[in-house]
Amino acid sequence: MMSTNLNVLPDDVIEYRTKEYWEKRYSKEPSEISFDWFKTYKELKPLFDVHLPNKNVSILMLGCALSEDMYDDGYHNITNIDFSETVIENMRIRCKDRTGMTWLIMDIRELNFLDKTFDIVIDKGTMDALMCDEGDVWDPKPEVIEIVKKEVDEVTRVLKVGGKFIYITFGQPHFRRRYLERPCWEVKIETLGEAFHYFFYHMTLLN
């Protein structure tokens, strides 16, 4: 679970977007790499069973959330990326016995993959870190809109036609939908939780 160690909290939320913050955080708290910002894989599994019934699909994980649990559940073709060298190295060591998984240092806004490479792309809370300095949620800062646009544009580029982008967040649809809408897919949403809601966005690339 997420650490309550206040020493790792940034002085300014914009630090969540910086590589330096995550390098510092994970070098001090390496066990945190596997924490759950929200919703464990066990809680999400019923939705994955519906939307990812074929466990042989090629998956790109933006950030390293869910990878270990998904691998243990039979999804073995997972490529994991993060811009933190510390995260990638620690996860590579942790998962040395989970053969077949790939760990790469990479920026989600500039993916070093060919077009139409993956069947599935998953983001669990990674996009949220890009929005940490969003400003007015009804009128986000232009630079935040551009940063998130780069991520989603890259996702559409590396997805195969018929492939899915899955985004898991606490971000409500009337705030998040604007970032996800594209002519190439329809944004669909599943809601989780009772008193406090989380959202499972899923989009299938049409062309």
Q: C-alpha distances in angstroms, 194 versus 188, 191, 199?
A: 19, 9, 12
How many residues are recorded in the chain?
207
Rounded to 5 degrees, φ, ψ at 180 are -100, -20
DSSP string, 96-144: TTSTT-EEEE-BTTB--S-TT-EEEEEEESHHHHHTTT-EETTEE-HHH
Residue 201 has a pLDDT of 97
Q: Is residue 1 part of a domain?
A: no
Residue 16 has a pLDDT of 46
Structure token pair of residue 130: 């890009």
CA–CA distance, 188 with 177 (Å, rounded to integer): 9
**What does pLDDT average to in each consecutive run of 10 residues of the chain (207 residues)?**
40 48 54 58 95 97 93 98 90 93 95 98 91 73 90 98 96 92 97 86 96
Residue 9 has a pLDDT of 45
Rounded to 5 degrees, φ, ψ at 205 are -70, 120
DSSP string, 18-50: -HHHHHHHHHH-GGGGG--SS--HHHHHHHHHH
Residue 203: partners with Cβ closer than 8 Å, 6 or more residues away: 164, 165, 167, 180, 182, 185, 186, 187, 188
Count of structural domains, the chain = 1
- How many CA atoms lie less than 13 Å away from 185 in the CB half-sphere? 25
Q: Is residue 78 part of a domain?
A: yes
Give this prediction's pTM: 0.83
Structure token pair of residue 183: 């002519």
136: CATH: 3.40.50.150
Residue 194 has a pLDDT of 77
| Residue showing tokens 């409500």 | 172
Contact indicator for 144, 178 with CB cutoff of 8 Å? no
Residue 196: which domain range?
Answer: 6-204
Cβ neighbours, 10 Å, residue 181: 12
Task: Give the N- to C-terminal CA distance of the chain in Å, as an integer.
Answer: 38
Instruction: Give which of 187, 185, 156 is closest to 174, Cα–Cα.
Output: 187
Residue 20 has a pLDDT of 55
Rounded to 5 degrees, φ, ψ at 76 are -105, -10
Residue 31 has a pLDDT of 47
Residue 23 has a pLDDT of 52
